[in-house]
Amino acid sequence: MTASEVLVFDLKRFAVHDGSGIRTTVFLKGCPLRCRWCQNPEGLKAERETVWFSSSCIHCGLCHKACPDSIQWHERPVFDAAADLSSAVSLCPSRALRYDSTYYDIDTLVEKIREDQVFFAQGGGVTFSGGEPFLQFPALLSLLKKCHEAGIHTAIETSLFTSGDHVKAVLPYLDEIYCDMKLYDEKRHKEATGVSNRQIKENITYLLHSDQKEQVTVRTPLIPGFTADDDNLSAIASFLVSQYDNVRYELLNYNPLAPAKYPLTSFTYGVYKDARRYTREEMDHFHNVIKDRGIRNCL
């Protein structure tokens, strides 16, 4: 990716859970983590791919005719999702073949965001999410600068698995920062996400000692069998309080809807089949665990 082009797999308008006010959330494609419970598996790969929607397919065979060397037909199209299938995508009459993402030049995307600016009046704005937005760092920095110049409130949702220099570069152009701390133990983190959490801890430490520490919200998604246990939450809370005693810390209840997305991808969902959202009583218990470790600003 470059500073002039960005790959986006979704653009959600009128979002109310991705920062303050009414927001436009831009989902940037690509992520270096492979969390077993990823809520957006369609955004993991950094490349644009072709996706087949079986429910839309009318079995006309035009895709095979358009790309006979790349698409075989065996009761369904069989193809390399990363191949150039643009002619087949453009010919598909039912849109059963589609790209999973869209390339935008920076100015075009900023103009699309500005179309919603009238809805940002009561504290809303744009949120860059993913995937992992820092994976497209040059484009992310350009987008944030242009939104800042346009007077648009900016936020980011990030794993913080990126270099400290990247974090420092974007910080002047961010009004809100939402970052994950999924697991405190490095071994458990690597087993569940595929990467170490050392850089994540370093970046959280930097943010919670910065002048913008009041704009930082640390989040832990409560995933059955992975993150949602007292020892993990206690360790995270203790770490956060040791960095900033008024840190904003949010526990996100488990979302059981993600598995429905996986058949359209090459990934396998890693949470057990009968996992469910936590009850009010269970959420109260988790909140008490982190409060006992000194968290005062609990969301």
Q: What is the mean pLDDT of residues 195-209?
A: 98
For 238, the enclosing helix (H) or strand (E) is helix 230-243
Query: Predicted confidence band at 73 (pLDDT cuts at 50, 70, 90)?
Result: confident
Please state, in angstroms and rounded to a whole number, the distance separating the CA atoms of residues 178 and 166. Answer: 15
Token pair in block for residue 294: 């000194």
For the stretch 150-194, pLDDT in tens is 999 999 999 999 999 999 999 999 999 999 999 999 999 999 999
Q: What is the mean pLDDT of residues 230-254?
A: 98
The answer for residues whose C-beta is within 8 angstroms of residue 180's C-beta and 6 or more apart is 158, 159, 160, 200, 218, 219, 220, 221
Query: Predicted confidence band at 270 (pLDDT cuts at 50, 70, 90)?
Result: very high
The answer to whether residue 1 scores a pLDDT higher than 70 is no
In percent, the amount of the chain with pLDDT more than 90 equals 91
Q: What is the mean pLDDT of residues 54-62?
A: 92
In percent, the amount of the chain with pLDDT more than 70 equals 99
The answer to whether residue 264 scores a pLDDT higher than 90 is no
Please give the domain boundaries of the chain with CATH numbers for all domains.
Answer: 5-46+103-298 (3.20.20.70), 50-99 (3.30.70.20)
For 252, the enclosing helix (H) or strand (E) is strand 248-252
Query: Predicted confidence band at 71 (pLDDT cuts at 50, 70, 90)?
Result: very high
Residue 125 · residue 23 · CB < 8 Å: yes
Residue 45 · residue 30 · CB < 8 Å: yes
Query: Predicted confidence band at 82 (pLDDT cuts at 50, 70, 90)?
Result: confident
pLDDT score, position 163: 98
Residue 161 · residue 134 · CB < 8 Å: yes
Backbone angles phi, psi at 153, to 5 degrees: -60, 135
Instruction: Indicate the average pLDDT of the chain.
Output: 95
Q: What is the mean pLDDT of residues 247-268?
A: 94
Please state, in angstroms and rounded to a whole number, the distance separating the CA atoms of residues 136 and 150. Answer: 21
Please state, in angstroms and rounded to a whole number, the distance separating the CA atoms of residues 106 and 103. Answer: 9
pTM of the predicted protein model = 0.93
One-letter amino acid for residue 267 of the chain: F
